[in-house]
Structure 1
């Protein structure tokens, strides 16, 4: 377990991790509250997917400029400003939760903030630990974020039934104070200095040219897009399955969200414990979660659905962490912000395309049909991505399951 604990030796990382735990809990309380507001007002999973799209679109349109700013500007003042704005947006939701347009407006403005904040967060986080500890730091961050999600969803599931969604938005606003406090007391002298590009190579176009010249990164991003759009929109499908064929309510949705978060913690612990984020593990995780998603559409009840959600969440965290690790370790530091912006734009595009599409499939084919159909497509995409990576890297085909098992079980010497 030494690789997992290595990042915690850094005081700045400990502060950052604790703040992220608190803030993530607040964020997922707000997500739960918003999902049930939209679903209760409209009764449509597609409308809930549109809310996700409204938040993702600004990141897609503005992400390139956000990445360029991340590679130029000091991160701490920029991140503090972003947290203040996010807190104000959360408070704005308290005053009107009965109509949709304030929710859409906050979603769009949150997306604008994310376009600037996302690349800066990634670049700043990578400066808190050594390059060798980056993979474990990202995996440990996933564990802590998932733990925050467990707490947030569990508490939110209770509160939304007792008090309505408004207190969830207030708690989320307050949680941003933890991030602001952590940023304020960090020691700049203990941070790693990242390489910076020359003035002539700091623009959006330079970053785009660089990313387009990295075939492995492009394949990884393509896999992330397909699996993210059709295989990761569980905000939509869990709510649709709970309210539809599983015949549950807000409590059941909260339970399923908590189970998903527990699985995410397990996946993060497995990957952080090994410190190995490899391409075979990426392909293996993609195949596993895709096949399980297909079967989740056939689950007879909430318990059966939860049993499949658990390993899906573990594999999803492994996949996401490996994607984030590889696009950072396999690219230049002076392009870090713009590479992370490309990853953020890919995630946003998957939300823009996937959330409304999955919501529409839930409304037309039913939640079960949507999960089965999406599982078939993502399984094919994961297999195609594995073949493409083998061709690009020149590696011989090896059993993916065995490679995934070694990545998750073996401890480094």
Structure 2
């Protein structure tokens, strides 16, 4: 019997312990800054539109520059690029602190910093992912990614909680200073890592660098295209739960802001549980990926019809857990299944898909909630993502040249339906072939000589 996999096995690596601690501090500081920027924009402009524009400025550069960042990550050493990016993020956080403490009454300086921060994130995001893979190596990558999701959830909860306490006491400027300090600590942790214990990935050659080379590679890797397409659809229709939770709380559940807060906490707990499950697995396979995709899709459809706040909250637990398992598995398979010298550009494609799904899915789900109603929007989105998951399973199995359980079931159902129609259509003309001769051409089609040959072989076999 094989030993039970160690849920915390990646933490045996000293470098990863430093990386995990730095990640917790960085995520906590980042969410403190997110709430601080939102509060600062609202207090200056008193407009939700200005808040939305600030979020757009932070995410738009990812769609335009992520592949450039991926190309740099594949060509240049990861550690210097990472330290440069963290230093720039720290300086931008310090600039926000200066703006807040100076009592600025214009949103444009904040917009400028938000745009620059989006540019830096787009360029150094693939480097973060590539460096993280070099910290643990391929054997513990799936475990490290799963633990990273748990750490991120914990950092988010702590960061948002501290921000809620500090904003009334000290103002938003303190949040930006703390975030700036967190980047200094991240840089210190990276510098303390032992180079001899790293797992460096091969860098792309001169003929394999650039955006065009990365696009060609992704374009000819069919299974990766299927994976990214599935991630986009499920991200757009199944990940924007901030929209649907708010609509359900305000509408059918009549739970108000308190109910929305309860649902947010439940979702965070489910995300932690999903991360712990993913960390407990020895490997994250395509079977786990599609099981998680079906769990979240079917669960989303069911959540649209369950009555009451309690029932909806109960459905959120497996949905949130499945979403984390799905995201972690997609990232694991995309990294381990592609060429290491293309890792940065593959990660860039993932980040672009994530940004695009958020940009498309948020407004689309909001429109569906307004026109059809929150419950109907959840049911419709769940049915669509379920159908897309089944189709993706079939396409992925074909691209990989093997059968997955979901793909086999769907293919058998379709084949049986087509075969049944074919038999009914041909029944008046001739009898359908037996299973033993299903792959052999009919004697009437092969001519008299072939028919005689078949009869002679049959007599020899009987003899």
The TM-score bracket by the shorter chain reads 0.7 to 0.9
Instruction: Tell me which moved more, 165-174 or 388-397.
Output: 165-174
1:71 paired residue number: 74
1:146 paired residue number: 153
1:59 paired residue number: 62
Distance 1:305 1:99 in 2: 41
2:290 paired residue number: 283
1:85 paired residue number: 88
Change in CA separation of 1:229 and 1:139 when aligned onto 2, cut-off 3 Å: same
Counterparts of 1:313-352 in structure 2, within 5 Å, are 313-352=320-359
Helix, strand or coil at the partner of 1:276: coil
1:194 paired residue number: 201
Distance 1:275 1:328 in 2: 16
Q: Are residue 123 (structure 1) and residue 123 (structure 2) matched? A: no
Change in CA separation of 1:75 and 1:252 when aligned onto 2, cut-off 3 Å: farther
Q: Which runs of 5+ in 1 are unaligned?
A: 403-413
Shift of 1:128: 0.8
Q: Are residue 261 (structure 1) and residue 248 (structure 2) matched? A: no
Q: Which runs of 5+ in 2 are unaligned?
A: 410-463
Change in CA separation of 1:234 and 1:104 when aligned onto 2, cut-off 3 Å: farther
1:379 paired residue number: 386
TM-score, normalised to structure 2, is 0.76
- Of the three residues 5, 26, 30, the one matched with 1:27 is 30
Distance 1:249 1:106 in 2: 34
1:405 paired residue number: none
- Of the three residues 158, 172, 184, the one matched with 2:179 is 172
Instruction: Tell me which moved more, 184-193 or 31-40.
Output: 31-40
Change in CA separation of 1:55 and 1:377 when aligned onto 2, cut-off 3 Å: farther
Distance 1:330 1:175 in 2: 33
Instruction: Tell me which moved more, 384-393 or 15-24.
Output: 384-393
Distance 2:252 2:32 in 1: 24
Instruction: Tell me which moved more, 316-325 or 187-196.
Output: 187-196
TM-score, normalised to structure 1, is 0.84
Q: Are residue 17 (structure 1) and residue 23 (structure 2) matched? A: no
Shift of 1:313: 1.4
2:427 paired residue number: none
User: Residues 231 and 290 of structure 1 are in contact (CA less than 8 Å); yes or no, is this contact kept in structure 2?
Assistant: yes
1:411 paired residue number: none
User: Residues 70 and 344 of structure 2 are in contact (CA less than 8 Å); yes or no, is this contact kept in structure 1?
Assistant: yes
Alignment: residue pair count: 400
Q: Are residue 227 (structure 1) and residue 222 (structure 2) matched? A: no
1:372-406 deviation line (CA, Å, top 9, x unaligned): 33323222222221121122223335258x9xxxx
Change in CA separation of 1:155 and 1:308 when aligned onto 2, cut-off 3 Å: farther
Helix, strand or coil at the partner of 1:277: coil
Shift of 1:160: 5.9
